[in-house]
Amino acid sequence: MKSFTLKLLLFIFPIGLGLYLLPVDERSTYLALEDDCSDRAIWMYDRITNEKAAIKIAFLGSSHTINGIDDEFLNERRQNAGITNLGYCRLGRDLNLRWLRLLIKHHNLEHIILEVREAENRYSHPVYPFLASRSDVFLAHPWFNRDLFENTIKHLQFRLELTQDRIYSLAREKESNESPYGFGTSSETAKLSELERMKNTRSAKSYDSEGLTHDFYFAFSKHHLEEISALCKQNGLEISFLYLPAFGSALKKPTEAEFYQNHGELWIPPDSIFSNETNWYDANHLNEQGAKALSNWLDGKLK
């Protein structure tokens, strides 16, 4: 039985490896994430690879960035300065690095503004293994990377599925979305009872800013932030860090403020924007009114 199993594995392995090594259309990897983040992956890929619409200033972050930064308004105020909101749902610095590499490949980028929260996220972005290149996955930073093995498996499985779809002519197709702007939020206002409940919870929350526990959990994001900073320096890009806390946060500045300031400017918007209950459509995301207030402030910060 063991002999048969070994022979079967020896037969299957080279076939699987051959399928994995077949070239995969880069756009198809983004297109396959149609059910994630309102199909934003393919929009971002098409926006970044469309070199006719220059991107000079890019905002990279999470849904806080998507909902908080009106890039159309900023371009109107600054005479089409090539400002683009490239937020993507959820957190993970490895995905920020992936977007930055793609941006540098296709644009003469000048400035990136990275969203920061109260504390750094500890883990890999959930969609990173699907969008990362082979070298990104197999040469990933191994230390303090909880998702290393899982990401490798997900990447292999995803690439094999894409190859299978290609062989059986099941590959997805979609015309390029040429919309230049990435901002999107709601005009609704959050219920005061929900905001107060979250404020009470968050005001009692504490964050480690030093010590072994802090250093351990910060290590993964720190590595990728240092890579982002080095890549910006190598390509002559300005880097800034924009603090976008949730409603009710007790922290007036992020726990890693000193680290950010060692690599670029730290932008902390006025507390009046974040403390105004009418600026939120839920306890995590600014609404149209809040985004307009934040974007007005950012207009004064951009050079």
What pLDDT, in 10s, does the model give residues 233-265? 999 999 999 999 999 999 999 999 999 999 999
Which has more pLDDT, 303 or 42? 42
Examine residue 90 and state whether it is found in any structural domain, yes or no. Answer: yes
CATH of the domain at 236: 3.40.50
The beta-carbon contacts of 293-298 under 8 Å, at least 24 apart in sequence, are 294/68, 294/69, 294/269, 295/68, 295/69, 295/70, 295/73, 295/74, 297/269, 297/270, 297/273, 298/69, 298/74, 298/242, 298/267, 298/269
- What's the CA angle centered on 40, arms 101 and 22, to 5 degrees? 60
pLDDT of residue 8: 43
Examine residue 201 and state whether it is found in any structural domain, yes or no. Answer: no
Examine residue 282 and state whether it is found in any structural domain, yes or no. Answer: no
**Percentage with pLDDT > 70 across the chain:** 91
Which has more pLDDT, 175 or 232? 232
Extended strands (E) in 142-293: 238-243, 265-267
pLDDT of 298 > 60? The answer is yes
What pLDDT, in 10s, does the model give residues 26-78? 999 999 999 999 999 999 999 999 988 999 999 999 999 999 999 999 999 99
| Pairwise CA distance, residues 290 & 283, whole Å | 12
Report how many domains make up the chain: 1
Examine residue 202 and state whether it is found in any structural domain, yes or no. Answer: no
Task: Quote the domain boundaries for residue 47.
Answer: 20-182+209-246+254-270
What pLDDT, in 10s, does the model give residues 134-144? 889 988 888 78
pTM for the whole structure: 0.92
The answer to whether 106 and 48 are in contact (CB under 8 A) is yes
Nearest to 222 by CA among 97, 131, 71, 59: 97
DSSP string, 198-223: HHHHHHT-----SSHHHHHHHHHHHH
Examine residue 291 and state whether it is found in any structural domain, yes or no. Answer: no
Examine residue 116 and state whether it is found in any structural domain, yes or no. Answer: yes
Examine residue 60 and state whether it is found in any structural domain, yes or no. Answer: yes
| Pairwise CA distance, residues 154 & 93, whole Å | 18
Query: Amino acid identity of 282?
Result: D
Query: Among 169-173, 217-221, 278-282, where is mean pLDDT lowest?
Result: 169-173
Examine residue 276 and state whether it is found in any structural domain, yes or no. Answer: no
Extended strands (E) in 73-139: 83-87, 111-116
Q: Rounded mean pLDDT of 9-32?
A: 67
